[in-house]
Amino acid sequence: MHATERVPNERRSGIERRHYSIAAYWRGALNPRRRAGRRAADRVYTIIDWHSPRVLALVLLILGLSTLDGVLTLMLMSQGASEVNPFMALFVPHNLGWFAAIKLTLTSLGAAVLVVCARMKLFRLFPGELLLYLVVACYVTLVSYELHLLANPPPLL
């Protein structure tokens, strides 16, 4: 049974009048509607349109620290160090542009996954946003270590 057969006085013409445009997406980005889950089941896995500015700041910090890590890695390699990450080591000696592009792409994809998980309760124990703080702490530790290596290079054997 078609919808028009169920409703005796159908007033719709059947012509689609809605228009999709970039303006609609822009309006939705500036005025998000879903800021929290609507159901009790959404407390565990909430998908929302809006994240707090704190999450944006953490993601920008992660991307900035990742960029700084790449620059410091290249500086250390010019002094005789080697890339420890075997996947990234494939790109460093051949093409620095690919090294930077792949490093930032992988970091961006990981950050996007962490943003999606930011409102989730992971393992039903802790908020997903805690992972963003953990990644920032790891990057701060890594950049601090690289700065220490640049200031105090190990003796050559």
Residue 47's pLDDT band (cuts 50, 70, 90): low
Q: What is the pLDDT of residue 135?
A: 95
Integer angstrom CA distances of residue 114 from 10, 60, 64, 69: 47, 12, 16, 19
User: Mapped to the 3 state alphabet, what secondary structure does 45-85 carry?
Assistant: CCCCCCCCHHHHHHHHHHHHHHHHHHHHHHHHHHCCCCCCC
Q: What is the mean pLDDT of the chain?
A: 79
Residue type, 7: V
Residue 143's pLDDT band (cuts 50, 70, 90): very high
What are 49-93's pLDDT values in tens digits?
667 789 889 999 999 999 999 999 989 988 888 888 888 888 777
pTM above 0.75, yes or no: no
Domain boundaries, the chain: 3-151
Return the minimum-mean-pLDDT range out of 1-5, 101-105, 116-120, 134-138.
Answer: 1-5
Q: Between these two residues, 100 and 136, which has the higher pLDDT value?
A: 136
Per-residue pLDDT, averaged over 11-34, amounts to: 66
User: Percent of the chain at pLDDT above 90?
Assistant: 30
* In the predicted structure, residue 34 carries a pLDDT above the cut 90: no
**Hey, what are 127's tokens?**
């908020």
Q: What is the pLDDT of residue 40?
A: 61
- C-alpha 145, offset from chain centre: 24
Q: What is the pLDDT of residue 126?
A: 82
